[in-house]
Chain A
Amino acid sequence: MTRNTIDQPQDGVIFEKSHRGRSNSCQAPQLNASETTAPLSIPASLLRKSAPLLPEVSEMQAVRHFTRLSQKNFSIDTHFYPLGSCTMKYNPRACNTLAMLPGFLNFHPLAPVETGQGFMACLYELQEILKEVTGMKAVSLTPMAGAQGEFAGMAMIRAYHDARGDTARCEVICPDAAHGTNPATAVMCGYKVKEIPTRADGDIDIEALKEAVGPQTAGIMLTNPSTVGVFERRITEIAKIVHDAGGLLYYDGANLNAILGKVRPGDMGFDVIHMNLHKTFSTPHGGGGPGAGPVGVSERLTPFLPVPMVDYRGDQYRWLTRKDRPQSIGQLSAFAGNAGVLMRAYIYARLLGREGMPRIAEYSVLNANYMMVELQKRGFDLAFPSRRATHEFIVTLKRQAKRLDVTAMDFAKRLLDYGYHAPTTYFPLLVPECFLIEPTETEDKETLDGFIDAMAKIQHEAETQAEMVRAAPYTLPSRRLDDVRAARELDIVWSSKE
């Protein structure tokens, strides 16, 4: 794509716009020295001796700088964002608006519970809703992100084995397609990781599992539907093998969207689950969150749930703390997790209701299968062609990489020029040159068709002008970044050139 555009200057960081002594002179309050003296109650030792190093810019410079940066964002509100295994779906405005009601917003976590019964009622009901939709016995909302939920889950498995004096269990089994966080979590909790292979049809290798389990097995960590975008068909058999060996089953809730209101992890035999509310329950996602990763457990793990939890005894909602739950793995944050995010998830769940939840699963699966079939018709290779997709599916661009020397990364960068955020690339690791595509339920057919057309056009470009595709993107503020150099010569701290 050639365009006669004028190169816009790079925005850089706001400090680069700073001029010493500049202030917003027409609007800023004009204070004299005595008025700027700090109150006497602050001890002299704590007072600054010099002015803070803040950027000195005019108000308009600041407004335009940050507005321009925000306009450069690829986000759900501006672009189709089919990032597989991340469930980037629309965050309904209603959830945000209602969670911002002053009554919710102004409840301080240290305030007497009598003054926050409404907020606590919402959290209690969210616990109940999540229990019901996952089929678990009890839920704690407190983990502040998916990774912390995973940590809480594995810490409970460890606490359970330890409480019974069964301390020889030192291994956790993970399939080779697992999210990287799974083995990392197991290691953080002091376990060794045993990897088992995935078969060509996408299910895990049951024979390898049978060989892997034993008295050393603390548990298995699974995502179902798995990260290859198919439902693990022999899950009850897997549960039996692991339980018979004395291990527990951990459910990574990353792909819960595909089965919401349809199948329950508790009924499949799982003992622990973490849920990413910023995925399945549509709270804001990306850029560091804030996330929310509640955990649910089966009967035998309930004593170990992290605190605080919300209890209801017929007349009042109250916090359950370590005093009430002495076997708890403890507290994971200062208060009750990202309470504002929990509130948004609660409102989302109430807006959907019991009847709405299965529709989430149905439409997310329908959208994924539509895209999968259409892309296959346009000549793309599927990684698991024998299987129906769940809410996401994998295209492999291995053939294009081999024959045309145009890789999945080149396709991904070129998609940006067409106005689509790239799908997840190069994950799961076991599929070469892969795209993991997850459209979610909130996209319309025209958007899905637009993406499919763009893929077909890039395929044509790859065949006719591969060089051009390899140098994409062309239309974004930054061209192809040198990710190798960025990783080898890490430079993440801005410093003034002055």
Chain B
Amino acid sequence: MSNAPSHLRYTRSHEWIETISDDTYRIGISDHAQDLLGDMVFIELPEAGSTVSASDECAVVESVKAASDVYSPLSGEIIEINEALEDSPDLVNRDPYGDGWLFTVKATDSSELDELMSADEYVALTNEE
């Protein structure tokens, strides 16, 4: 069974969302997702300052097995990206909820958070898979 910290929220497409402040959120991919994809070899991140809409493809995680799109769970502006991933994509494998975070969004519509799953719901989903 995969590890999904209870203070995070999750999407069906395996992103996690951490609340940083009132309207800023940090995004990454779940432990389950990194485990399925295997060793990361390349991470393509959005540009800081760009705007995204919820469920837009905004990053790509590429492993030895597959290249997979990452969808922004929220609409808003990308305010920070994890530049360490450029040299160390394996951070996503080693520490998916910590040093392996992908980007931070300043959200424009916090009601989009209601669409997201709790850790329990997410774990139930991954157990079905």
Q: Give A residues with C-beta under 8 Å from B.
A: 180, 426, 429, 432, 483-484, 487-488
Contact = CB atoms under 8 A, between A and B. Distances in A.
Contacts of B125: none
B53 to A, nearest CB: 13
Nearest to A183: B69
18 contacts: A180-B67, A426-B65, A426-B66, A429-B65, A429-B66, A429-B68, A432-B36, A432-B129, A483-B64, A484-B39, A484-B41, A484-B64, A487-B41, A487-B42, A487-B64, A488-B41, A488-B42, A488-B89
Nearest to A427: B66
Contacts of B65: 426, 429
A482 to B, nearest CB: 10
A135 B64 CA distance: 39
A487 B43 CA distance: 12
Contacts of A484: 39, 41, 64
| Interface SS of B by simple majority | loop
Nearest to A426: B65
Contacts of B129: 432
Interface string B77-114: 00000000000010000000000000000000000000
Contacts of A432: 36, 129
A432 B126 CA distance: 12
A47 to B, nearest CB: 45
A374 to B, nearest CB: 27
Given A180-B67, A484-B41, 16 more contacts: A426-B65, A426-B66, A429-B65, A429-B66, A429-B68, A432-B36, A432-B129, A483-B64, A484-B39, A484-B64, A487-B41, A487-B42, A487-B64, A488-B41, A488-B42, A488-B89
A487 B40 CA distance: 9
Nearest to A195: B69
A384 B35 CA distance: 23
A319 B129 CA distance: 55
A484 B67 CA distance: 14
Contacts of A426: 65-66
